[in-house]
Structure 1
Amino acid sequence: MDKGRTNRINKTDSKCDKKSGVPVSVSDSLVLDHSYGGDGEDIQVVREEETYSVQEDEKRSQWRVGRRVVELGVLADGLSSCQLCGQPLQLSNCVGENKFGLAHVLLIKCQFTDCRLMNEVPTDSQHQTPNGRNAWDVNTKLAAGMLNEGFGETHVNSLLAALNIPSVSRKTLKNREREVGQQLGQMAEETCNKSLQEEMKL
């Protein structure tokens, strides 16, 4: 296994297609997205750090591992031009990423000779919370889905692990749950007041 990034199983076997009954040869390399276990490797859930930087030289290609939740329009706008010289950016020039729950900020270096600026390109949009702080939309929507379906942190991160998506910290989830909970409470109160007024008119 290449440092946990892929598992290659060299195996030669003969099986039959269930639909056609035609023998199918399973050989060479069977490449899996990631390891679900074995070799003493466990899926680790980030619980304390909300922001995780992988800018170190030995982890330059870490952003290529696994999957990400990306708002394509936001990413396209971020790659459209360098923040300094205005030249188009290329995703292949990414040298690292900063993680904020399911949202990420890609660090992409401008390849224009006279610039070389390190651009921060987000993968998601943001909104302002009632306390005046900015929050990533995808994390708030995740919290809303959790409350709606009755999922907890363990369930969510287990699902993300199965999809090979980086896990979300407990702190991030709790903060977004509080934000969503306040909004749901206000909506419930408004609905009750509206129903009460309509009933009084009868």
Structure 2
Amino acid sequence: MAEQTRNRRGRFASLKKEPAKQKAYELKEEHSYVATDYVEVKSSKSVDGSWKEGRRVVEFAVLLEGLRFCKSCRLGPIPLTIENVIGELKKGLGGYLKVKCLNSDCGHVNCIAYGKLVKGSKQGATTFAVNTKLGTAMIDTLGGPNKVNNMLAALNIPTISNSKLKKMERRAGSSIEKVASESMEAAGKEAFQREMEDIAVCECLEAEKSTNILIKDLGVSVLPEASPMKEELIIPSDTKDISWADDTMSPQSSQEKVVKRRKHRFVIHGHKLGKTSCKKSLLKRFPCKTRSGMSCAVDTAWQKRGFDSLTSHTFFMSKAKYGKKVLKAIVKHRTCGTCKWWKRNKPGQPVRLHRCVQNHTGNARSMESASGEQGILELSKEGTPVEYIEGDGDNTLIARLKS
């Protein structure tokens, strides 16, 4: 008796070979959401007719530029007809048409792109601009890969795999993060400069009240704590009684002129100060003395109510007087999906190289103080330190900064 073999499931397999089944016809339809008549088409691997199905996003200028001449024989233009298009290479929403040259001596197959190409992240790599735009739309409006494919199916556009859509989203997300970081840094410098200028102006007004005489042409005055020798050098004793604020009396009417302006030269008691184009060149911008940092509002929100949320986001905002703009955004993650899947399904193996988003190891409650401290340190490194913080009553950031 012949021994019976077992299959993969451990069952006894028959030694008789089953007759080869004939390949069945494939039933294809144009739309899956409208009842249409079925058309029987034989599947053939030698002829690529996928370009005849569905709709495409085509940029006419790019397509016509590629059809100007053949890349092999340099003759052209290449006619775009149904006979010489032999296939298509899809790349997301973009792709290449394989167009055969009609020159009998050539017959070269040209790959003509019907979308704009841009440089990719890797050296020498190119990608279609429409795919990057699709990744931006996923972040801004559309949502995840399932929603995108539902929209493409409704428009009768060939769908894209979920892994490819996630790559587009990550590629667009890195560019968006870079632009957002530059915008927040510029907004922080603008808010810091405006607030420091306002404080410096207030300090100047308070200092002006404590002085007696102001030289308007130079924009300077004698400080109260100045020595009598310096005060006598700048302002003679016979001109101290002159009120420069009075419009009726001008410095030209006094017998001894303290400041003279002749041919763009300033003279103080016979000493020449050199040429100048305008008086603004002498007005230097001095930093304020009472403050070294700006004031901003800080608050943190969690994705889930309670203190078991996996993510949180913290925002630093300037005052409404200085634009009410976002100066810094900090996002905290307690877990990473890729690391979690790898440890669960392939324990003991090193996790593959990826962009790990996990940047917090404590509980969700400590995210607020950790994010606030990180934002203050980053703002200080950018040259816009924070001195006053406005927040709600349940903020633990102040206690952490003091400790």
Paired AA for residue 72 in structure 1? F
- Structure 2 counterparts to residues 173-184 of structure 1, below 5 A: 173-184=165-176
Distance 1:66 1:150, change over 3 A: closer
The structure 2 residue matched to 1:198, chosen from 182, 190, 214, is 190
Question: 1:103-118 counterparts in 2 under 5 A?
Answer: 103-118=94-109
Structure 2 residue aligned with 1:79: 67
Is the 2:95–2:114 Cα contact (8 Å) retained in structure 1?
yes
The answer on 1:4 being equivalent to 2:28 is yes
Q: Could you state the TM-score of these two structures normalised by the residue count of structure 2?
A: 0.37
Query: What CA deviation, in whole Å up to 9, does each residue of 1:80-100 have, x standing for no partner?
Result: 211122222222210110111
State the shift of 1:36 in Å: 2.1
Residue in 1 that maps onto 2:139: 147
1:65 aligned residue: 53
* Structure 1 residues without counterparts, runs of 5 or longer: 7-33, 42-54
**For residue 62 of structure 1, what is the amino acid of its counterpart?**
S
Matched, 1:56 2:42: no
Offset of residue 4 of structure 1 = 2.2
Number of paired residues?
A: 159
Find the aligned partners of 2:80 and 2:156 in 1 and give their Cα distance.
20
Alignment of 1:154-173 (within 5 A): 154-173=146-165
Structure 1 pair 130/62, CA: closer, same or farther in 2 (3 Å)? closer
Is 1:130 the counterpart of 2:124? The answer is: no
Distance of 2:47 and 2:99 partners within structure 1: 17
How much has 1:108 moved relative to structure 2? 0.8
Q: Please state whether the residue corresponding to 1:96 is helix, strand or coil.
A: strand
Q: Which of the two has higher C-alpha Rg?
A: 2
* Aligned counterparts of 2:131 and 2:108: Cα–Cα separation in 1: 29
Instruction: Name the stretch that deviates more: 157-166 or 85-94.
Output: 85-94
Distance 2:101 2:121 in 1: 36
SS in structure 2 of the partner of residue 57 of structure 1: coil
Distance 1:143 1:96, change over 3 A: same
| Shift, 1:57, TM fit | 2.7
Displacement, 1:150? Answer: 4.6
Alignment partner, residue 187 of structure 1: 179
**In structure 1, the residue corresponding to 2:28 is in which secondary structure?**
coil
Larger RCO, structures 1/2 (Cα 8 Å, 6+ apart): 1
Alpha carbons of 1:58 and 1:117: their partners in 2 closer, same or farther (altered >3 Å)?
closer
Instruction: Check 1:111–1:3 CA distance in 2 against 1; reply closer, same or farther (3 A cut).
Output: farther
TM-score (norm 1): 0.71
Give a deviation string over 1:61-84, Cα, whole Å, max 9, x none.
321111111111111111121112
5+ residue gaps, structure 2: 1-25, 39-43, 195-403
For residue 141 of structure 1, report the CA deviation from its aligned partner: 0.5
CA, structure 1 residues 5+91, in 2 after alignment: closer, same or farther (shift >3 Å)?
Answer: farther
Measured in 2, the distance between the counterparts of 1:105 and 1:66 equals 15
Looking at structure 2, the residues matched to 112 and 131 of structure 1 have their Cα atoms a distance apart, in angstroms, of: 36
Deviation at 1:185, TM superposition (A): 1.0
The AA in structure 2 aligned to 1:193 is E
**Are the aligned partners of 1:97 and 1:107 in contact in 2 as well (CA < 8 Å)?**
yes
Cα distance in 1 for partners of 2:100, 2:142 equals 42
1:87-102 matches, within 5 Å, as 87-92=76-81, 93-102=84-93
Aligned 8 A contact 1:146 1:152 in 2: yes
CA contact (8 A) 1:4 1:35 kept: no
- Hey, what does 2:217 align to over in structure 1? none
Cα distance between partner residues in 1 of 2:138 and 2:164: 13
% same residue: 35
